[in-house]
Amino acid sequence: MSALLASDADRDRIAERLRAAAAEGRLTSDELEERLETALSARTEAELEPLVADLPAAGLATPPAARSERRRWDRDHVRAYVGVSLMLVAIWALTGAGYFWPIWPMLGWGIGVFADTGGRLGRPCRRRSSNPGFSTGRWPSSRAAAPGSGEPPL
């Protein structure tokens, strides 16, 4: 337990965790109201810690079961899209192969499938580092000084 004074940011962080827990159904509205009142009036970090001690840690990833369910949903969407697209191309080919009209439903539905799968089709995307000093070397660092900020450029 820490006897350090709690900052407004600490109180806000705890309040946000409490609201998220209530949204997940972990707290009743009465518990939420009571804990928020205590959190917003807390003077030290030691007073804040017990408020979230019985809640799961913040920022946990979705449970593996939910992730696998989401992947299965994505796979099913992609399979349906590919199957219907092949069927449209087959109909186009069997009816004379003139103007390639299947491109329009394929593009419309394809944009939706791509967006629904999070912009990735099968593999997870690489996330940007939260470390402001980290740079891949490909692009200038995001820490580069803005004009007029008084900081020297990197």
| pLDDT tens digits for range 80-107 | 899 999 999 999 999 988 899 999 999 9
| pLDDT tens digits for range 49-75 | 888 888 887 655 455 666 667 667 678
Burial-class residue 113 by CB neighbours within 10 Å (0-12, 13-18, 19+).
middle
d(CA 24, CA 60): 13
pTM summary value: 0.39
- The DSSP secondary-structure symbol of 101 reads T
d(CA 135, CA 151): 18
d(CA 100, CA 90): 11
